[in-house]
C-alpha cells in the first residue's frame, strides 16, 4: 500500500517536472540523481565508430579482470573484462559442436558464467551456487545441441550479478546451423552485433550504486552505449544488413525504432529464426531479450543518416518517459551484394497446449516484507518468496511439457521473466498490451511483462536433470531476490 502511494506520487512529480525545461532537468540529473526519477539521457556526438567485439570459436580463454575501457571519447574508465575491454568476445559456433571455455577469475570476488539461452547440463549452466572463487579457474564444457540463434553470456553470482554485468561482463554467443546458412543472410561486414546497455557515470567513472528506489525500478543509466561505445556511428552501404540486437542493460527497456521509421524486418528472437519475416517499425525490447533484424538501407541517399532510437512509452512506471537516440548509421556507398528477403525462414513446431501435463502460476506482482527493505517498500518476490539457494521451489519431470503463467496483473513494475534450461513458446498475453509481439512468435527464453499483464508460456523440459533457476532479468530485481530454484528430475 505504502509503495503504491510512493509510485503514484513520484509519477505525479515526474509529470510536473516534465512540463518544465528539459535542460534544467538534464542539469539536475547529471549533478545528482533525483529520488524516484530515472537518470535523464545524455547523448554523445555520434562520431566515434562502432566497435565490434572480436569473434572466437570453439576454445576461448577468458581472464576475468579489472581493466580499463574507452566507453567515453574523452576518458578511459575502470571496468571489468573477460579479456581486454568492455564486453567479452563473441563466441561463434555451429550446432553440434562442443565449446570449451577456460575461465580464470582474477577478480577479488566470486563470479561465474551463465550461458543465457543455451540448454546445457546443470553444472555448466552458471547457477548461482556454482561459483569460481577469487583467483580460481574453471572450464565450461558446453555441448551445443540447439538451433542457430543469438544467445549471450554473463555472470550470475547471487547479489552481485547486476554490478558485474554493469561493470562490463557480458558477451554474445552465436550458434549457426545448416538451415540458417542456406538462407544466405547478410554476413561479414553486413552482419552487425548491437549490444545495447545503459550506464551511469559519476565523472568519468562507471558508478553502480542503486538507491532503494532504484532497486525498485531498476538502475537506469544516463548514457546509452552500444558494443561498449557511448553514442557510436556505423558507416553502412546502401543495402541489406543483419542486426543482432541484444538488450544487455540491467533494467532499461527500449522501444526500438529508426528515426525515419525505416522497417525492421524481424527474422528471429531469443531462440532463433521465426517461421517468416515480419516487418515492424517499433519493437519493445526488455533486458535479456534478443532481436534478429534485417534492415534495408537502400532507400536512403548516399550521405544520409538515420538513428536507431528508443521512443517514448511513458505510461509505464519511471521508464520510457523520454525518447532518445542510441546509435547513428550513415549511408556511404552502394552495396554490391544483392539480397532478397525470403518469404519463409524456418518451421516452428507449435507445442500443443494439450500436451502440457501441468500449469504453474507465478505471482510476480507482490512485494514482501514491507518493513524489511528499501525504505519500507519490501522486496521483489515470486510467489511471495525471495531466492533461497538451498530451497527447491518447483520440481518438474525431464522431457515433459508444462504451461507456466507469470502474473503481473496487480504489479506496478516491469519484469522481464527468464527461465534457465529451456526455450519456451509464448501462448498469450492477457491485460495491458493484450497481444504477442512479432518476436514472441518464435522461441523465447525471456518474456517482458508490463504492469497489468499476465503471460502464459509453454515449454518442454530437457533431459538434463538438476537445479536451474527462473528469475526476473531486471538484474536489480534478481539480486533483490526475485529468483526461484526449480529442479528437473
* Residues binding Cu ion (CB under 5 A): 415, 472, 474, 477
SS (H, E, C) 62-113: EEEEEEEECCCCCCCEEEEECCCCCCCCEEEEECCCEEEEEEEECCCCCECC
The verdict on 116 binding ligand C2O (CB under 6 A) reads yes
* DSSP-based three-state secondary structure for 358: strand
Choice between 252 and 420, CB closer to ligand C2O: 420
**434: CB partners within 8 A, 6+ apart:** none
- Which residue's Cβ lies closest to ligand C2O? 116
The verdict on 114 binding ligand C2O (CB under 6 A) reads yes
- Among 246, 194, 197, which Cα is nearest to 219's? 197
Which listed option, Cu ion, ligand C2O, none, makes contact with residue 415 (CB within 5 to 8 Å by class)?
A: Cu ion
Which listed option, Cu ion, ligand C2O, none, makes contact with residue 116 (CB within 5 to 8 Å by class)?
A: ligand C2O
The verdict on 156 binding ligand C2O (CB under 6 A) reads yes
The verdict on 380 binding ligand C2O (CB under 6 A) reads no
Question: Cell triple for residue 409?
Answer: 496483473
Per the DSSP assignment, residues forming a β-bridge with 455 are 406, 429
Contact 378, 306 (CB under 8 A): no
Among positions 275-294, residues that touch ligand C2O (CB under 6 A) are: 288
Size of interface with ligand C2O, in residues (CB under 6 A): 10
Distance from C-alpha of 247 to C-alpha of 12, rounded to nearest angstrom: 29
The site string for ligand C2O over 419-448 (x = CB under 6 A, - otherwise) reads -x----------------------------
The site string for ligand C2O over 393-422 (x = CB under 6 A, - otherwise) reads -------------------------x-x--
* DSSP-based three-state secondary structure for 29: helix
* DSSP-based three-state secondary structure for 5: helix
Which listed option, Cu ion, ligand C2O, none, makes contact with residue 477 (CB within 5 to 8 Å by class)?
A: Cu ion
The verdict on 154 binding ligand C2O (CB under 6 A) reads yes
> In the complex, what is the shortest distance from the CB of residue 99 to ligand C2O, in angstroms, rounded to a whole number?
17
Which listed option, Cu ion, ligand C2O, none, makes contact with residue 288 (CB within 5 to 8 Å by class)?
A: ligand C2O
The site string for ligand C2O over 470-489 (x = CB under 6 A, - otherwise) reads -x-x----------------
**449: CB partners within 8 A, 6+ apart:** 364, 406, 408, 411, 414, 415, 416, 417, 432, 455
Contact 339, 239 (CB under 8 A): yes
What are the C-alpha distances in Å from 287 to residues 82, 124, 130, 206, 259?
Answer: 20, 22, 23, 19, 22
Choice between 29 and 154, CB closer to ligand C2O: 154
The verdict on 200 binding ligand C2O (CB under 6 A) reads no
The verdict on 163 binding ligand C2O (CB under 6 A) reads no
> In the complex, what is the shortest distance from the CB of residue 153 to ligand C2O, in angstroms, rounded to a whole number?
8
**CB crowding 265-297: b at 16 or more within 10 Å, else e:** bbbbbbbbbbeebbebebbbbbbbbbbbbbbbb
Choice between 257 and 470, CB closer to ligand C2O: 470
Measure CA 365 to chain center: 20
Choice between 14 and 475, CB closer to ligand C2O: 475
Which stretches of the chain bind ligand C2O, using CB under 6 A?
114, 116, 154, 156, 288, 418, 420, 469, 471, 473
Amino acid at each position: 500500500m505504502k509503495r503504491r502511494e510512493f509510485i503514484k506520487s513520484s509519477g505525479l512529480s515526474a509529470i510536473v517536472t516534465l512540463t518544465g525545461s528539459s535542460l534544467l532537468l538534464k542539469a539536475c540529473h547529471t549533478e545528482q540523481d533525483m529520488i524516484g526519477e530515472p537518470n535523464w539521457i545524455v547523448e554523445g556526438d555520434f562520431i566515434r565508430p562502432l566497435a565490434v567485439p572480436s569473434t572466437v570459436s570453439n576454445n576461448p580463454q577468458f581472464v576475468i579482470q579489472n581493466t580499463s575501457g574507452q566507453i567515453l571519447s574523452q576518458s578511459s574508465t575502470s571496468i571489468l573484462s573477460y579479456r581486454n575491454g568492455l564486453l567479452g568476445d563473441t563466441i561463434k559456433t555451429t550446432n553440434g559442436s562442443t565449446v570449451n571455455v577456460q575461465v580464470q577469475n582474477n577478480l577479488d570476488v566470486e563470479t561465474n558464467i551463465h550461458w543465457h539461452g543455451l540448454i546445457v547440463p546443470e553444472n555448466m549452466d552458471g547457477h548461482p551456487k556454482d561459483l569460481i572463487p577469487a583467483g580460481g579457474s574453471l572450464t565450461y564444457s558446453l555441448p551445443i545441441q540447439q538451433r542457430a540463434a543469438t544467445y549471450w553470456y554473463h555472470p550470475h553470482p547471487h547479489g552481485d550479478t547486476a554490478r558485474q554485468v554493469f561493470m562490463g561482463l557480458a558477451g554474445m554467443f552465436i550458434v549457426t546451423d545448416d538451415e540458417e546458412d542456406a538462407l544466405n543472410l547478410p554476413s561479414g561486414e553486413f552482419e552487425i552485433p548491437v549490444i545495447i546497455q545503459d550506464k551511469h557515470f559519476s565523472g568519468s567513472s562507471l558508478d553502480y550504486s542503486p538507491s532503494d528506489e532504484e532497486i525498485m525500478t531498476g538502475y537506469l543509466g544516463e548514457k546509452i552505449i552500444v558494443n561498449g561505445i557511448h553514442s557510436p556511428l556505423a558507416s553502412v552501404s546502401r543495402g541489406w544488413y543483419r542486426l543482432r540486437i541484444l538488450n544487455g542493460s540491467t533494467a532499461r527497456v527500449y522501444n526500438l525504432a529508426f528515426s525515419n521509421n525505416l522497417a525492421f524486418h524481424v527474422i528471429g528472437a531469443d531462440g532463433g529464426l521465426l517461421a517468416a519475416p515480419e516487418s515492424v517499425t517499433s519493437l519493445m525490447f526488455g533486458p535479456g531479450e534478443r532481436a534478429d533484424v534485417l534492415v534495408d538501407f537502400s532507400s536512403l541517399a548516399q550521405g544520409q543518416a538515420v538513428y536507431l532510437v528508443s521512443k517514448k512509452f511513458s505510461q509505464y512506471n519511471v521508464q520510457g518517459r523520454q525518447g532518445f537516440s542510441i546509435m547513428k548509421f550513415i549511408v556511404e556507398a552502394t552495396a554490391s551484394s544483392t539480397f532478397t528477403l525470403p518469404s519463409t525462414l524456418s518451421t516452428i513446431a507449435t507445442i500443443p497446449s494439450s500436451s502440457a501435463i501441468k500449469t504453474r502460476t507465478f505471482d510476480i506482482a507482490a512485494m514482501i516484507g514491507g518493513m524489511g527493505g528499501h525504505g519500507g517498500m519490501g522486496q521483489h518476490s515470486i510467489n511471495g518468496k525471495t531466492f533461497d539457494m538451498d530451497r527447491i521451489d518447483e520440481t518438474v519431470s525431464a522431457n515433459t511439457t508444462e504451461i507456466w503463467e507469470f502474473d503481473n496483473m496487480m504489479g506496478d513494475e516491469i519484469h522481464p521473466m527468464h527461465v534457465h534450461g529451456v526455450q519456451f513458446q509464448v501462448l498469450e498475453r492477457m491485460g495491458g498490451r493484450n497481444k504477442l509481439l512479432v518476436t514472441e512468435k518464435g522461441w523465447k527464453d525471456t518474456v517482458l511483462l508490463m504492469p497489468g499483464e499476465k503471460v502464459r508460456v509453454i515449454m518442454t523440459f530437457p533431459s538434463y536433470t538438476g537445479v536451474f533457476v527462473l528469475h526476473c532479468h531486471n538484474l536489480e530485481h534478481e539480486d533483490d531476490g526475485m529468483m526461484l530454484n526449480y529442479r528437473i528430475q
